[in-house]
Amino acid sequence: MSRKVNVLIHPNIQDLYKNLSKESLELLQITIDIANKQGIILWAVGGIVRDTILKSQYTDLDIIVEKNIFKLINSVNKILRGTIKWEKDFGTASIITDTTRIDFALTREEFYRRTASLPSIKTGVTLRKDLERRDFNVNAMALCLNNSNDYQLHDYFDGISSLKESTFRTLHPLSFQDDPTRIFRASRLSIFSQLFPDTKTRKEIDEFKNAIQHLSGKRVWNELSVIAERGHSAKVLLLLEQWKVLEQINPQLKLSNKSHTILKYRRQPLLAEHLIVIMLVPLKLDHALAILKRLNAPKITFQLLEDVRKLIQSELEINFRNLQKLSETSDESRKIAKWFDKNKQILIQNKIKKIEKIKLFLNAEDLVSLGISPGPDIGKLLQALREEQFYGRIQSKQQSYLFVKKYLNKK
């Protein structure tokens, strides 16, 4: 498959402006004005250039500069009043506003000492050196934003040619070995931009996918988080499974038919813990827990998994005590459980809500006034009263008193 692309030449930088949302364009114009005053050259790079050529709207802005990045960012944010996220060790920073974000980076080279390690950085290199260290050729194109002598497209690695063929390729043979997270990026590029790895790059994914085993749990979690946040996660995960990537995270990690169906009809962005629990619920518990440990998942995810499993495994004729235990489950777990079995969960969760809405006619102070000593007996009796009200056997304060008197006489 080939497609018609718009080869950027001067003055088609306007194409880039047209490709941005109103909020992003305003943000970019503020940045360019300040950079001009400070004598700083800016380049748009990566996805914004690629998507401009493809005439696809792009929201985030990726900007690279050769020097004075921190001065520029502070000056821009004085106007934007957003949140600055610094990564000074990598020469990068982001300004995040309510509606968009802009990412800045010093031109840099990266050096990987071992597979899946974080790179060592050398900043202040040439534009071409910076583009050489990027993931794929279609993301290694740059367009100068504020130099009248340099408005041509910088495309050293035939990104335009790949875009015409709806493909992309790595920039060197060990790209995935150096940084296996690029495999996850390749899957997102395939799904969201309809660009696919060329034959050589596809072979490299097969050759180096086992390098994912060397990634820290945090880095894998971050990649799954991006998949969740972008939406359409079913498509991305299915592709990763076809590439046999999920099993590199853990041999037991699979996208079950049920999980795929749930995600297929929920194309909107999800929280990372929701996505992962949806994937893990159909698995054996010990396998699911091992995967969460591998991901170094937050404690909230372990609890969410436990709650969803409790709800799904409950029987319709569940007794009062077990129903009351289920009342401790979170709203998030109940929502996810409904996705797995809506009809059953509506019935069970209606019973849980009924318990939660019970207002006892007598409280602990009332029981003490009737001669019951403070302690375990109070709790047991309140529990018994709650159960009687749940089943409709107690419907008034008077009936509650009678129940307590019978309880005391039996004792």
Q: Give pLDDT tens digits for 386-397.
A: 999 999 999 999
Confidence of residue 10 (pLDDT cuts 50, 70, 90): very low
Same domain, 157 and 10: yes
Helices (H) and strands (E) counted in the chain, each on its own, are: 22, 11
Torsion of CA 143, 146, 147, 150, to 10 degrees: 10
Same domain, 346 and 405: no
Tell me what pLDDT residue 5 has.
58
Tell me what pLDDT residue 61 has.
86
Structurally, the chain folds into a number of domains equal to: 4
CATH of the domain at 27: 3.30.460.10
Mean of pLDDT over the chain: 90
Tell me what pLDDT residue 124 has.
85
Tell me what pLDDT residue 53 has.
87
Tell me what pLDDT residue 8 has.
47
Same domain, 291 and 307: no
Q: Give pLDDT tens digits for 83-125.
A: 989 887 788 888 888 878 889 999 999 888 888 888 888 888 9
Instruction: In whole angstroms, give the CA distance from residue 187 to residue 199.
Output: 15
Domain end residue (candidates: 139, 165, 191): 165
The share of the chain scoring above pLDDT 70, in percent, equals 96
Same domain, 336 and 377: no
Contact 87, 93 (CB under 8 A): yes
Same domain, 240 and 119: no
Same domain, 131 and 232: no
pLDDT of 11 strictly over 50: no
Q: How far is CA 202 from CA 43, 144, 199, 249, 293, in A?
A: 30, 31, 5, 19, 30
- Average pLDDT (367-387) is 86
Q: Give pLDDT tens digits for 23-80.
A: 888 888 999 999 999 999 999 999 889 988 888 776 678 999 988 888 999 999 999 8
| φ, ψ at 93 (rounded to 5°) | -160, 160
pLDDT of 9 strictly over 50: no
Instruction: Supply the DSSP symbol for 209.
Output: G
SS3 (DSSP) at 231 = coil
What distance lies between CA 362 and its chain's CA centroid?
Answer: 47
pLDDT of 150 strictly over 80: no
Same domain, 242 and 125: no
CATH of the domain at 185: 1.10.3090.10
Contact 69, 42 (CB under 8 A): no
Same domain, 270 and 160: no
Contact 177, 212 (CB under 8 A): no
Q: Give pLDDT tens digits for 239-269.
A: 999 999 999 999 999 999 999 999 999 989 9
- Average pLDDT (179-183) is 97
| Winning range, highest mean pLDDT, from 16-30, 189-203, 367-381 | 189-203
User: What domain range includes position 397?
Assistant: 364-410
The share of the chain scoring above pLDDT 90, in percent, equals 65
User: Side-chain half-sphere of 230: how many Cα atoms within 13 Å?
Assistant: 23
Tell me what pLDDT residue 369 has.
87
Same domain, 243 and 381: no
Same domain, 148 and 79: yes
C-alpha dihedral sign at 112, 113, 114, 116? negative
Domain end residue (candidates: 165, 195, 230): 165
Find the range with the poorest average confidence among 5-14, 33-42, 205-214: 5-14
Q: Where do the H-state alpha helices sit in 85-216?
A: 127-132, 159-164, 175-178, 181-192, 199-208
Instruction: In whole angstroms, give the CA distance from residue 241 to residue 208.
Output: 15
Domain end residue (candidates: 136, 165, 194): 165
Same domain, 257 and 341: no
Same domain, 57 and 198: no
Find the range with the poorest average confidence among 3-17, 188-202, 233-247, 342-356: 3-17
